[in-house]
Structure 1
Amino acid sequence: MSTHTPGEDVPVRRIDRILAFMSLGLLVLSIVCFFAIMIGSASGADMSGGVWPLIGVVVYIAPIVAFALMLAVLIMSFVRRARANRGG
């Protein structure tokens, strides 16, 4: 009988936790910015000046960056799990 089973969980590293929370934070920020644009345009705000262009860019860029961060977390965890299962 083997003492090491493949189903054992590998410990979560700090970098994984940081990247996961950064991804979640960017998604929440993107949703908040999206609702801010909806509320601002419904109230008749001038969307061509001030902070509105930055908010619009956040809505476009943040989900892409969040996806890339989650992809990095998944790849790192798969590699770490494969190394743990291989024994090295």
Structure 2
Amino acid sequence: MSAPTPTGDVPVRRLDRILSFTALGLLVLSVGCFVAIMIGSAMHAEFDRGAWPTVGIAVYIGPIVAFLLIIAVVIMSMVRRARANKAR
């Protein structure tokens, strides 16, 4: 059984919000790039020119980075709660 959480909530830090919204933004960007690739495929676009290589890389890299940011937020939150529980 885990230790009880303190009655007062641990405040959310600015860094946690920045990391969370950055992860959300990266996921939205990745989905948008994926939709752009689908539309480009339907329009028979040439994917080796222009901004298409960047769009293709964003689809692969964005979700991975977003996942790592979410993991970092969760770990930081767990550490902060453990310190708050230890102090009480």
Give the CA RMSD over aligned residues. Answer: 1.3
Unaligned 5+ segments in structure 1 are none
Aligned-residue sequence identity (percent) comes to 65
Alignment match, 1:16: 16
Query: C-alpha distance in 1, partners of 2:37/2:55?
Result: 8
Q: Map Cα deviations across residues 1-25 of structure 1 (whole Å, 9 max, x no partner).
A: xxxx635320000000000000000
Alignment match, 1:45: 45
Query: C-alpha distance in 2, partners of 1:7/1:71?
Result: 25
Query: C-alpha distance in 2, partners of 1:85/1:35?
Result: 45
The count of residues paired between Structure 1 and Structure 2 equals 84
Q: Whose RCO is larger (CA < 8 A, sep 6+)? A: 2
- Find runs of 4+ consecutive structure 1 residues off by over 4 angstroms: none
Q: Map Cα deviations across residues 1-53 of structure 1 (whole Å, 9 max, x no partner).
A: xxxx6353200000000000000000000000000000011011111111101
Alignment match, 2:76: 76
Unaligned 5+ segments in structure 2 are none
Q: TM-score normalised to the size of structure 1?
A: 0.91
Q: TM-score normalised to the size of structure 2?
A: 0.91
